[in-house]
Amino acid sequence: MTSSPEPSSRPAEPPVRRRDTRLDNYVDRYAVRTHGMTASAIRALFAVANRPEVVSLAGGMPNITDLPLDVVGSSLQRLVLDDGRVAMQYGSGQGEPMLREAICEVMGLEGIAAHPDDVTVTVGSQQGLDLVTRLFCDPGDVVLCEAPSYVGALGVFRAYQCEVRHVGMDAEGLSPQALREALEVLRQQGKRVKFLYTIPSFHNPAGVTQSEQRRREILAIAREADLLLIEDNPYGLLGFDHEPLPTLRSLDSELVIYLGTFSKTFAPGFRIGWVLAPHAVREKLVLAQESATLCPPVFSQFAVAAYLRDHDWRGQIKVFREMYRERRDAMIAGLADHLPAGCTWNTPAGGFFVWVGLPAGLDAQAMLPRAVTARVAYVPGTAFYTDGFGSRFMRLSYCYPTPERIIEGTRRLGEVLNREAALHETFGTVGPADPAGPALPYQAPRPNQS
Ligand SMILES: Cc1ncc(COP(=O)(O)O)c(C=O)c1O
């Protein structure tokens, strides 16, 4: 009988070398939908912005420093020992029933009365967005979204070859008047809108929140126009000042498809989100989920359910809120102390982001390499539009760095902006003062503009 050689006695294989080439031999095989797939400004930035010497006000990573890892750890240990063989098995395409029940309890905090049967668990709310777009949009279909809008949603709409039309916002979020106008233009063009994608609470990136009155107005327009709404609500429980406002879904269960997530209220690494949809849509969602993943990750679902069962998750959300409020305060104080005249910003009442407007003549995208050289990073406003608008804006996030680092970041940013402004003054390229400030109305490019 021959014995197989000891692994150590095998001649060592040469290490596999990465073949790094920019030549793409597959270029004529890709589907047309890949043409719109480009790395976002945020993604390209991460490589430099994550260097320790850079204060990154760019990324939107939830700050999970305050999560009690001992509690989560013992909960996970118990999960493996008691239920491991089920939790590590395939599961239901719709998601585990006990988690869907818990999700209904979470949504109850924002006034939503829902049945677990109408919930589909997804791989983060990002996959919820993907599945919903897959269900409703053919190439060329029109999708409305705010101006600016969440960069990850724009990526999904691009991947499904949708035509995105931005709708202006003001200090109370999506403008009803701008929505009416957009619908009218589309009616005249004979185009049907598949849905309006909106982030009513603590908007990413604009930082604003729709008042209750505003929500009712938007719903009234939607009913009139038979417009489907996709409500994306990752930050709704992270408000600093008052109880959550009623969600659009709590005010209308037929016209609203609701996206939720545990990424900001627990931890993003489990990748658990959900879609709450009217029954007929939910049935299609489950079929789409099955073809995409067979089932959402079962172990993560058990882990989230165990966390909700074993831990004071409501208390933990309060801890997160206080931590983010302290960071928001640091950012607003830093901006007031360091940004030059002519810059404008809002004070978000929750969530992660501040939207900063620059004096006319300054360009946030052109300035970014100089900012990174000065060891501060942000996301230029153009990342949040599909049509090139936004160069006079930037998104700053306060969620991750410590308050001290946030203040230091705003100091560095102030220096960069002051230098840019002085340069523009020298060359006479500064535009007139802009009284409209951050509520500068969105101007869609005219059809003959690129
Ligand atoms: C508005 C918005 N929607 C969706 C997501 C995706 O969240 P996740 O897929 O982690 O649930 C994010 C993440 O930053 C977001 O800001």
Give the CA distances from residue 384 to residues 148, 166, 189, 254, 437, in Å, rounded to whole numbers and listed in that order. Answer: 5, 10, 25, 29, 18
Question: Cβ–Cβ contacts within 10 Å for residue 436, how many?
Answer: 9
* SS3 state of residue 409: helix
**CA 234 to centroid of ligand 1, rounded, Å:** 6
Residues in the chain, overall count: 450
Residue 143 to residue 140: CA distance in whole angstroms: 9
Residues in contact with 137: Cβ distance below 8 Å, sequence separation at least 6, in sequence order: 143, 157, 160, 161, 162, 194
**What's the token pair of residue 43?**
């993604």
| DSSP notation for 59-76 | ------TTS-HHHHHHHH
Mean pLDDT (whole number) for 338-353: 95
Q: Which residue out of 42, 120, 126 has the highest number of ligand 1 atoms within 8 Å of its CB and is therefore the one to mutate?
A: 126
Kindly state if the Cβ of 122 falls inside 6 Å of ligand 1. no
Whether a cis peptide bond, with omega within 30° of 0, leads into 148 is yes
Burial grade of 51 (CB within 10 A; 0-12, 13-18, 19 or more): exposed
Question: Ligand 1 pocket check: which of 46, 261, 384, 397 to mutate, most ligand atoms within 8 Å of Cβ?
Answer: 261
pLDDT at 48 over 90: no
Ligand 1 atom with least separation from CA of 263: 10
Q: Is the CB of 199 under 6 A from ligand 1?
A: yes
Tell me the three state secondary structure of residue 136. Answer: helix
Per-residue pLDDT tens digits for 222-275:
999 999 999 999 999 999 998 899 999 999 999 999 999 999 999 999 999 999
CB atoms within 10 A of CB 422: 12
Q: What is the pTM of this model?
A: 0.92
Pairing state between β 142-146 and 193-198: parallel
Average pLDDT (339-350) is 94
Q: Is ligand 1 within 6 A of the CB of residue 152?
A: yes
Q: Which atom of ligand 1 is nearest to the CA of 203?
A: 1
141-188: pLDDT as tens digits: 999 999 999 999 999 999 999 999 999 999 999 999 999 999 999 999
Measured in Å, residue 58 CA sits from the centre of ligand 1 at 15
Residue 117 and residue 274 in contact, taking contact as beta carbons nearer than 8 Å = no
Q: What is the pLDDT of residue 391?
A: 92
For each of the domains in the chain, give its residue range(s) and CATH number, in order of start. Answer: 41-66+315-426 (3.90.1150.10), 84-310 (3.40.640.10)
Strand, helix or coil at 312?
A: coil
- Number of H helices and E strands in the chain, helices first, is 13, 15
Nearest ligand 1 atom to alpha carbon 128: 9
Across 251-333, where does the E strand assignment appear? 256-261, 272-276
Q: Which residue has the tokens 């709704």?
A: 236
pLDDT attached to residue 225: 96
State the pLDDT confidence band at 34, using cuts at 50, 70 and 90: confident
Q: If we measure between CA atoms, which residue out of 245, 261, 146 comes closest to residue 204? A: 146
Examine the pLDDT at 303 and tell me if it is beyond 60. Answer: yes
* pLDDT at position 113: 96
Dump the DSSP string for 393-431: EEEEE-SSS-HHHHHHHHHHHHHHHHHHHHHHHHTT---
Tokens of 172: 């109370």
